[in-house]
Amino acid sequence: MGRCFSDEVEQALTYIYYDLRAGKGAEGLAILEKASAAGDGDASCILARCYCGNQYVWSGHDFPEDDDKAVALIRRSVEQGSGIGVMVALRTGELKSALKRKMPFGSLEEAFDSVLEKARAGDAFCQYTVANSYFWWDFIQIQGKGRDSFSSEKEYKAYLAENISKCEEWFWKAFKGGMYLAANNLNRYYNQGDEDLIAPRPELARDLYRQGAEMGYPIHQWIYGEDLEKEGRKEEALQWYKMAAEGGQLECWYHVGKAYEDGEGALEDLAYAAACYEKGLAQKKDSGKRVGCANRLGSMYYDGRGVEKDYARAFQLLKYGYDQGTTYGVCYLGKCYFRGLGTPQDYGKAREFLEQVDWTNREAFYMLGVIYGNGLGVPEDIPKGVEYLKKAGSLKEAREELLHYRKTLFGKWVRR
């Protein structure tokens, strides 16, 4: 047996929380599934968190989210006799009276003490669980106390402050022991305090994510890299982005690619930038950075920068980015539809995309001029077409197209 849990659970905790860079989250999940089915309540509890999204487990694992499954597992963990299961069920509001009667503990305090014992033995997950019990005021229910338990408001507030403050030490132990998530609540604790009971101490939060980055947590390397970039320290930021990306924080391949594409913080290397964007596309979820990788790589395929021109690939990537709610690629998509590059020619769709271009782009103005002037996919509107062609300025194609129109004595634009 492991030190605090079964061998299976301790191995899974290592893969899922304590050694993120190993890239073995999927193996950890499979271990928990098997152990939970065999009756291991602790496995059921941790497995439940895996299905609750990035607030509870690292995004780099790309675990599927399933709230219904998570709730069922939390309840199962309580029935299977897990102390951490009871604490998590209490925290999430799932420990209703009927479920509470099924737990094999005489009281909430007994369940808490079983977790506290493991926390004192050095398990970071239990240290994090204990810290949360103090941070979120669950200790009131655990200890069975309330305002009526004290002779005065002052005495009650002193009790609250004394218990809430215990979270700090436990969060730090968990943070240093492998639970990167502990930094999030420490950050809140230091920056916001807690009502009129705990005063804010924002100065203590300043180096949290730097420390997490130095401990090797990929998500903190990302956050710290962003902090450095905001300070203009782009070369340093790039190094942390690289470490985060190589450690499995796939969103950071966007930052690395952008640095090499733009030559900011690194020498320009378009081929390497394109390779970084490709790696960023490996994310399963449609994060903003995945969309960013698609948009930038799509433009590189269209222009043949760092890669061979491939209009079909460009269209696919840029259309994906657009479908996710960005307008980065609207001009490229308009050009693809207008010229039939990577997709069948469609002037109506070309117009739809080109009219979303809200910046000065002479090529977009030229194509809109052709579309309206010739009635391609829209009713002919020569004055509007000419207006667009004029906005295209010195663009050779636009000047040549304008030669097909003239103004009458009455000031009306007509075809020659």
DSSP of 138-165, one letter per residue?
THHHHHT--GGGSSSHHHHHHHHHHHHT
| Token couple for 409 | 């004595």
Percentage of the chain modeled with pLDDT above 90: 95
In this structure, is residue 220 part of a structural domain?
Answer: yes
Pick the last residue of a domain from 222, 245, 268: 245
- DSSP assignment letter at 14: I
- Per DSSP, the three-state class of 229 is helix
DSSP run (H or E) holding 235: helix 234-246
In this structure, is residue 224 part of a structural domain?
Answer: yes
**Do residues 195 and 229 both lie within one domain?**
no
What confidence category does residue 5 fall into, taking pLDDT thresholds of 50, 70 and 90? very high
Label residues 52-62 b or e (16+ Cβ within 10 Å = b).
bbeebbbbbbe
State the total domains in the chain. 2
Cα–Cα distances in angstroms (integers) from residue 4 to residues 118, 130, 373, in the given order: 6, 15, 76
Task: Tell me how far apart the alpha carbons of residues 161 and 152 are, in angstroms, rounded to a whole number.
Answer: 14
Pick from 304, 255, 263, 315: nearest CA to 279: 255
Mean pLDDT, residues 206-213 taken together: 97
- Identify whether the C-beta of residue 44 lies closer than 8 Å to the C-beta of residue 80: yes
Task: Tell me how far apart the alpha carbons of residues 295 and 281 are, in angstroms, rounded to a whole number.
Answer: 10
Longest dimension (CA), the chain: 98
* Residue 24 scores a pLDDT above 70: yes
| Token couple for 365 | 């103005």
- Identify whether the C-beta of residue 268 lies closer than 8 Å to the C-beta of residue 252: no
**Do residues 78 and 16 both lie within one domain?**
yes
**Do residues 35 and 132 both lie within one domain?**
yes
**Do residues 49 and 169 both lie within one domain?**
yes
**Do residues 174 and 58 both lie within one domain?**
yes
Pick the last residue of a domain from 209, 236, 263: 209
**Do residues 101 and 232 both lie within one domain?**
no
* Residue 286 scores a pLDDT above 80: no
Cα–Cα distances in angstroms (integers) from residue 86 to residues 4, 93, 115, 138, 247, in the given order: 16, 10, 10, 12, 33
What confidence category does residue 290 fall into, taking pLDDT thresholds of 50, 70 and 90? very high
**Do residues 53 and 174 both lie within one domain?**
yes
**Do residues 201 and 218 both lie within one domain?**
no
**Do residues 135 and 230 both lie within one domain?**
no
Q: Structure pTM? A: 0.90
**Do residues 139 and 171 both lie within one domain?**
yes
In this structure, is residue 150 part of a structural domain?
Answer: yes
**Do residues 109 and 227 both lie within one domain?**
no
Q: pLDDT tens digit string along 388-401? A: 999 999 999 999 99
pLDDT the model gives residue 366? 98
Mean pLDDT, residues 299-309 taken together: 98
Please give the residue range of the domain that contains residue 236: 213-245
Cα–Cα distances in angstroms (integers) from residue 300 to residues 286, 303, 413, in the given order: 20, 5, 39
- Identify whether the C-beta of residue 228 lies closer than 8 Å to the C-beta of residue 237: yes
- Between the CA atoms of 347, 352, 355 and 356, what dihedral angle is there, to the nearest 10 degrees? -140
CA 102 to chain centre: 37
The tokens 């021109």 sit on which residue? 309
* Residue 65 scores a pLDDT above 80: yes
**Do residues 201 and 158 both lie within one domain?**
yes
In this structure, is residue 280 part of a structural domain?
Answer: no
Pick the last residue of a domain from 209, 234, 267: 209
Mean pLDDT, residues 106-127 taken together: 97
